[in-house]
Structure 1
């Protein structure tokens, strides 16, 4: 009986560690019907209408300018890294150690892990789980799928999730009709979607939008080559 306990414990630990991988592998092909962040908003909402606005759109039905705007704003090395932007993590740790403003250093892949499965906050526990999930996402999903899921589950307003719902809510158009300026405005609110709005945009959002447009021009249309199809 004593010999069975180590094997049983090992099996339990293996199941605990591999269950997230199985879910992530499934979501490589199955579009997520809901995320942890959406459920949180739903449970906290007392709205009389729909508590969450969310409409899935495949990447080919989202304006390429929004994909480029999101990468320009949030994670410019996304096509090349393996889930973590180590230079940004180092800078954030140094800033936090000096007692400065607490900074995040999350890649797009890390944000997908957090939004899909976890909760907001900056605890070491959450960041550790996020890092574990990020490794599996990078191993099991191509970059195109990571970006597609990100654009569909990112929060763009208090109860608005994903590119399609955001384009309709803020600009009255579908996600494939977003102009570069509107795409940049949406990307500008990603760090704080419940605080800022892309339309009407205040001075801060306009400043961020213009900076993102500059970054998009600097990166160029080919920055996401092989991930997002851009018509010539």
Structure 2
């Protein structure tokens, strides 16, 4: 009897292991194809957009996902540099992860100071496009995985293009074009440096802060972004 139980247990383990391997293989294949497709096809919607839409409905508001896609060359140059200056100054030089920023964020968080993230534009793009909102180690693991994939299969131009088109910039407002028309009543191609810096300054919480009514804290962030924009203005996209 004990031998039969042992044999059955070994068989069950091998069967579970076989199923797990198949699941992992299919996940790998599907995720790689998904990333490759989005290299050429613009993501139509994100999990965050859907969640925010339901949150608005729960609050008695209308469903709203205001967005309009712009290709990389159509996006404001000022906004591209503002995004890098404010969110990821080493964007053009790293492979998805900025180890120095991660280390600084870890040290500040360990010292008891307000929580800070070390996420790059690549990481934020991976999170926004392929994953659900929230904080967990599981999601962080998937975020790292998809960050590696988009760095392999996408160009830096494509990563920044997608980032600036899907990022949340207000209540029901997503991407540069929708945000610029809402806050400044003009197309994103006409953004000044100060306006671009102000749009980025309200991140990562554009529902708490708004370019329409900047606080002293947001003005300070805008100043720092403008200063960093001058420092990185000679960087070129390949």
Structure 2 length as normaliser, TM-score?
Answer: 0.88
Q: Tell me, in whole angstroms, the C-alpha distance in 2 between the residues paired with 1:9 and 1:152.
A: 36
Q: Tell me, in whole angstroms, the C-alpha distance in 1 between the residues paired with 2:29 and 2:112.
A: 37
* Secondary structure class of the residue paired with 1:27: helix
Q: How much has 1:117 moved relative to structure 2?
A: 2.1
Are the equivalent residues in 1 in contact too, given 2:47–2:133 (CA < 8 A)?
Answer: no
| Structure 1 gap segments, 5+ residues each | 228-232
1:11-22 pair list within 5 angstroms:
11-22=22-33
Are the equivalent residues in 1 in contact too, given 2:78–2:196 (CA < 8 A)?
Answer: yes
Q: How much has 1:129 moved relative to structure 2?
A: 1.0
Select between 62-71 and 4-13 the one with higher mean Cα deviation.
Answer: 4-13
Q: Does 1:176 align with 2:189?
A: yes
Q: Does 1:27 align with 2:35?
A: no
The size of the alignment, in residue pairs, is: 224
Q: How much has 1:214 moved relative to structure 2?
A: 1.1
Q: Does 1:114 align with 2:127?
A: yes
Are the equivalent residues in 2 in contact too, given 1:154–1:190 (CA < 8 A)?
Answer: no
Instruction: Give deviations 1:131-189, integer Å, cap 9, x for gaps.
Output: 01101010110100000000001111121100000000000001111111110110101
* Secondary structure class of the residue paired with 1:22: helix
* Secondary structure class of the residue paired with 1:114: helix
Q: Tell me, in whole angstroms, the C-alpha distance in 1 between the residues paired with 2:22 and 2:95.
A: 29
Q: Tell me, in whole angstroms, the C-alpha distance in 2 between the residues paired with 1:206 and 1:156.
A: 17
Bigger share in helix: 2
* Secondary structure class of the residue paired with 1:128: helix
1:58-77 pair list within 5 angstroms:
58-77=71-90
| Structure 2 gap segments, 5+ residues each | 1-10
Instruction: Give the match for residue 230 of structure 1.
Output: none
Q: Tell me, in whole angstroms, the C-alpha distance in 1 between the residues paired with 2:44 and 2:133.
A: 20
Select between 64-73 and 109-118 the one with higher mean Cα deviation.
Answer: 109-118
Counterpart among 38, 50, 54 of residue 39 in structure 1: 50
* Secondary structure class of the residue paired with 1:156: strand
Q: Tell me, in whole angstroms, the C-alpha distance in 1 between the residues paired with 2:63 and 2:75.
A: 23
Q: Tell me, in whole angstroms, the C-alpha distance in 2 between the residues paired with 1:12 and 1:53.
A: 36
Are the equivalent residues in 1 in contact too, given 2:122–2:151 (CA < 8 A)?
Answer: yes
